[in-house]
Structure formats: C-alpha cells, structure tokens
Amino acid sequence: MNFNFCVLLDKAKRVDMYLSTLFSDFSRSYIQKMIDRGQVILNWNEIRKNIKVKKWDEISLKVITESLDVEPEKINLDIIYEDSELIVINKDYWVNVHPVPWEWGKKGTLVNAILYHCKDKLPSIGWISRPWIVHRLDKDTSWVIMVAKTDSMMNYLANIIKNRKIDKYYLAVVDWIITDKEFKIESFIGRDPNSRIKMTTKNPINPKIALSIWEVLKYIDDKYTLIKIKIETGRTHQIRVHMASIWHPILGDKVYGNLKTNKELLLKYWLKRQALHAYKLVLNLYWKRVEFMWSLKEDMKFVDFVELL
C-alpha cells in the first residue's frame, strides 16, 4: 500500500516524528526502520531519519504488508448471526480486534478466535493483513462487528461501507446535560499535531470531513445524557472527538474525557472504559434490508435504554 501526500506543517519537524503522528498505528521506531529500508521518499529522494520536513514537501510512503503468524485460539464468541459467508459478533470491549506485531499482541484477539471458530471454512488466502474483518472500532468500545468468511462477502461489505450504503448506530453516555433534542456536527477531523494518539478538529493534520447526527434519548442522574448517534462518515475517533469538541466528552474516555468525572463513574458504576456501544447495523444483505442489533454489555446496563428505541 502506497501513501502520497504533501506536508502542511507551518514549522519544520523531524520526518520520523511527523510520520508517527500522522500514522498512529506505527511507532516512531517502526517509522525509522521504514526510512532505513528506503520505504519513505521525500521530494523523490531517499532520506535519513533525522531530516526535517517543511511545508509543501512531498512524501511517498510504502507500507509492506507482513504476516503476523497468528494462531487459532479457543475464545468464546457472542455470535448474533452466522451463515456460510458471514458472522456477526457482539464484541466485548476489552478484546483487541487485530493482532499487533509483538509477542503479547498476537494472542487473545478477535482474529485468533475467528481462526479457531471457523477452522478450515475460511478462504485459502492465508493471513495477510486483515482479510475478513472489514470495519473496526476502538478496543474500549463494545460493538456489533461483521466478519466475512468468503472473498466475495468481504468485497461486498467493503464496497457498501466505502459507498456509505450501511447505516451505523451508536449509544453513548456523555458528560453534562444536552438541551437540544436533535442536532448534528459537521467538521474536519485529522491527526492532532501535538499528540500522536489524538485526533482533533482544531488545525488537524491531513483533515477529512466528518458528519455525525445525534438524538437525545434520556438523562441520567441529572448530570449525564444518553444519546443515539448515526455517523455518516467513518473517521478515526469521530464520535469521541466530536463530543469532546462541544464540551460533552463521552464518560470514561481516557483520551478525550474528564479525569475527575471518569473517577466518579468508576466508583459509582464501576465503569472502566468509555461508555460507547455500537449497537445496530442496517444494510442490504442477500437482496433484502436486514438489521443487526444487540444489547449493551453488563458494565453499561445502568443506562437501561431498551424501552427508548
């Protein structure tokens, strides 16, 4: 996979630092190895890792896909639906979706569990990158996730997601009371120039438009608001960033949330992660409109939302 783009920094910055901020999946040391291997080209020339980039410089980045040697692992799956081509799973919030290329990161993931569950029923294309899971969310989000068991289903799902022909709905509990019953947020979202783990709406790197539509469902303890969200785009951390940008961060969010509020929630509800649940997917499947929906995980049952939907 190749990435070609233009630098939009106002101030010169080391290329390895800049790229590790832009591509949060890669550590700075991994970026340095890519530079040493000649995978990073600056203004049509190979470079050293300590060189600085400036505004309007052109960068070409070549990402080489590697096998992660993932082993099947017997892990219980909360399966909502399954047929010969597709599995729909209600993922626990503490489970990683994909392995990462170091030893401890190759176990206990959703991919390990799918390999064990499907055994020889998966297509014989081998484990290269992520051939079946066509959409993703943060580890600390519980959610309905689709897993393709065939090449044709994988291509179909990837295509409808790319063309926004699938509706995704979320539930979130946010800080403070939101008085507007319905509203939407449309903004540009991109990497935060000051943090490699954050996205932002303020002076983002490589910004892309993001649109989220919200509906207030109920208030909790006269302090928090339960909202239903439909996202029209799928930007990284989109819901979390949008809510933080209007001063209503998601409860339990360790990156964009309020530390004091998170501590209160831990003591009161024993909530150890962000109160965000991807609860419904609506799409065309086998020539008809279908809906996959599943309930909240135990740690978010204090919301009690079923009668509202």
Q: Indicate which residues carry an active-site annotation.
A: 138
SS3 assignment for 114-135: HHHHHHHHCCCCCCCCCCCECC
Q: Give the Cα separation of 97 and 232 in Å (integer).
A: 23
Q: Shortest CA distance to 112 belongs to which of 143, 86, 147? A: 147
H/E stretch holding 256: none
171 near 279, Cβ under 8 Å?
A: yes
Beta strands 79-82 and 58-62, pairing class: unpaired
Cβ neighbours of residue 252 under 8 Å, at least 6 residues apart? 140, 262, 265, 266, 271, 272, 273, 274, 275
